[in-house]
Amino acid sequence: MSHYVLLINWTEQGINKIKESSDRYYSFKTSLENAGGKLVGGYYTLGDYDVVLIIEAPTDEVIMSLMLKVGSYGNVRTKTLKAFTAEEGMKIIKDLP
Nearest one of 21, 26, 27 to 8, comparing CA atoms? 21
- Tens-digit pLDDT profile for residues 41-62: 999 999 999 999 999 999 999 9
Amino acid at site 32: L
pLDDT for 12 equals: 97
- Per-residue pLDDT band at 15 (split at 50, 70, 90): very high
The domain 2-94 is classified under which CATH number: 3.30.70.60, 1.10.10.10, 3.55.40.20, 3.90.75.20? 3.30.70.60
Domain ranges for the chain, please list them: 2-94
Q: Which residues contact 80 (CB under 8 A, 6 or more apart)?
A: 4, 5, 6, 7, 63, 64, 67
pLDDT for 6 equals: 98
pTM for the model: 0.90
